[in-house]
Amino acid sequence: MRRFEGKVALVTAAAQGIGQAVVRRIAAEGGAVVVTDLQQDAVAALADELGTEHALGVKVDVTSRADIDAAIAAAVGRFGRLDLVVNNAGGCIVTSMPEDTSAEDWHRQLDFTLLSAARCIQASIPHLVATRGNVVTISSVNGISAFGNVEYAAAKAGQIAMSQNYAARYGPLGVRFNVVAPGTVRTSNWDSQPGTLEKLKSMYPLGRVGEPEDIAAAVAFLGSDDAAWITGHTLPVEGGVLTGPNPTGLRPPDALHLRSGDERSV
């Protein structure tokens, strides 16, 4: 597929993990990509790998509106337009018990995860109106249901509410806003917790945690014209965890023995 031929996307936190997978997917589908992250060497290396005629690496601190403005100006200056913004930056940076979280830590979490997305949207709106473009924000299942990490969950839920309101406001101008809500995804964030992903996969009815490419596929759909009549929605990409933690207790080998019409209760 070449769904992004002639289009330009800007992706935040794109040096690794989900962001990098999104960049690679958009580039593979013919799009030009502005790769942004705090890791300047990493974004430059990724842009070089993809080809500097189709990719641009820019160092960006998403807590800085000036950095975001500069990245968008660089995108439009290099490629002449902006069609898609993928708000991928954000993460769980507060580890205290919620009753002990200071106001300062609340502000840090919201600034990094929620306000960073708001800054990118505000800065990109004039360009997206011009191209009838769209925004895809990476939230989390934590923003939909209670999986812990209260401050992070609140920021992620805020992303969803913000996107819905922007969708209503800018829909008449042809600009779409959607959200992808991943479950647990295999990224380097888990490297310091060996064995955790193996344990977590038992929560998922599909029997595994997600891969960055699973999220990138959803972003590519929502960011493309295939989703031209979809706005203001949140797409969970979460292996079924929102249906409940594998309530059947079946392991994959057990499931293989079930036949159509089997009377065994599952």
Q: Name which of 101, 110, 92, 57 is nearest 189 in CA terms.
A: 92
Residues near 148 by beta carbon (within 8 Å), at least 6 away in sequence: 142
Buried b (16+ CB within 10 A) or exposed e, 36-64: bbbbeebbbebbeebeeeebbbbbbebee
Which residue in this structure is represented by tokens 């101008």?
Answer: 173
Separation of alpha carbons 198 and 231, rounded Å: 35
CA 230 to chain CA centroid, Å, is 17
Report the relative pairing of strands 134-138 and 32-37 from DSSP bridges: unpaired
Buried b (16+ CB within 10 A) or exposed e, 129-157: eeeebbbbbbbbbbbbeebebbbbbbbbb
For the question of residue 166 being annotated catalytic, the response is no
Separation of alpha carbons 218 and 215, rounded Å: 5
Could you say which of 152, 166, 170, 204 is catalytic? Answer: 152
Residue 236, strand partner residues: 181
* Rg over CA atoms, the chain: 19
Q: What is the 3-state secondary structure (H, E, C) of 131-144?
A: HCCEEEEECCHHHC
Q: Which residues are the active-site residues?
A: 152
